[in-house]
Amino acid sequence: MLELKHISFSADEKEILRDVNLTIDDGKFVVITGPNGGGKSTLAKIIAGILQPESGQIFLDGEDITNWGITERANAGISFAFQQPVRFKGVTVMDLITLASGKELTTAAACDYLSQVGLCAKDYINREVNASLSGGELKRIEIATVMARKTKLSLFDEPEAGIDLWSFKNLIDVFEKMHEEIQGSIVIISHQERILNIADQVVVIAGGKVEKIGPKEEVLPGLFGIDTGCRGMREGM
C-alpha cells in the first residue's frame, strides 16, 4: 500500500502540489486525471523519488520512504514509465528490457514483452533506443520496460500519448493483463476515457490538490459535467 500524506511541492516559487493526501491500496487500478498543469506528473515523480516533496511523507507498506532515493524506491517495488521516454545512444532495446527485468533474459522472453506492446519483436530487439525510433515506438518500449519489472506498484505517465498507430484496445489489454498477472497496483496518469473506464478508482487532481477521488462510477459522470479542463478526454476515441 502506498500512502501520500500532506505532500506539497513548489518550483520556481510556484506552488505545484498543496497538501495532497492519497492512498493506493494493493492490487488497485487507479487512474489519475485532471487538467494539464494540475500537478499529476509532479505527483508521479514524487512517488518515484525523482522529485522530493517540500513537506509531507510517503509510506510504502507502512515504511516511511520519503527520504529514499530513486534506486531504493525502484528496488522496493516502484516502477515508473516516463511521459517522454529517454533516448540512449548505444543502449539497445534488449539491454533496456534486460536491465528492467533485473536478470539475464532470453531473447525470446524479451521479445515477448515487445510483442505484447504491439512491436514486431525481431525488428526492434537489437535496435538502439536512440533518435531513430519514433515517439510512439519509444512509448511502447517504455511500457515494456515497466512490464518486465513486475513490481508491486507501476506508474505510467500518460502512456497513451503518441501511440497513434496502435489501437487503444491493445493498450488497455496490456494494462489489464499486467494487472491480472502481477497482482500489483497500477497507477496511470491519463486523459483518455477508455483508460478511465477500466479504473477501480479515479483521482482528479487540479490546481495542485486532490479535487475528487472515488470509484469510477462516482467520479466519471461528474468529470464530464464540470469544467476541469478534461474536455479533451473524449477526443481521439
Tell me which DSSP letter residue 86 carries.
P
Nearest to 128 by CA among 101, 86, 99, 93: 93
Q: Which of residues 200-219 bind other proteins (CB under 8 A)?
A: none
Rounded distance, CA 138 to CA 83, Å? 10
Q: Which of 1, 70, 161, 198 binds other proteins (CB under 8 A)?
A: 70
In the numeric block, which cell numbers belong to residue 57?
A: 511523507
Q: Name the burial class of residue 175, with classes exposed (0-12), middle (13-18) and buried (19+) by CB atoms within 10 angstroms of its CB.
A: buried
CB of 234 to other proteins, least distance (A): 32
Contact 142, 113 (CB under 8 A): no
Rounded distance, CA 95 to CA 12, Å? 37
Q: Confirm or reject binding of residue 68 to other proteins (CB under 8 A).
A: no
CB of 137 to other proteins, least distance (A): 16
Q: Confirm or reject binding of residue 86 to other proteins (CB under 8 A).
A: yes
* Amino acid identity, position 101: S
Q: Confirm or reject binding of residue 80 to other proteins (CB under 8 A).
A: yes
Q: Confirm or reject binding of residue 149 to other proteins (CB under 8 A).
A: yes
CB of 104 to other proteins, least distance (A): 15
CB of 84 to other proteins, least distance (A): 8
Residues in contact with other proteins by the rule CB under 8 A: 48, 50, 69-71, 74-75, 78-80, 82, 85-86, 88-92, 95-96, 99-100, 102, 128, 145, 149
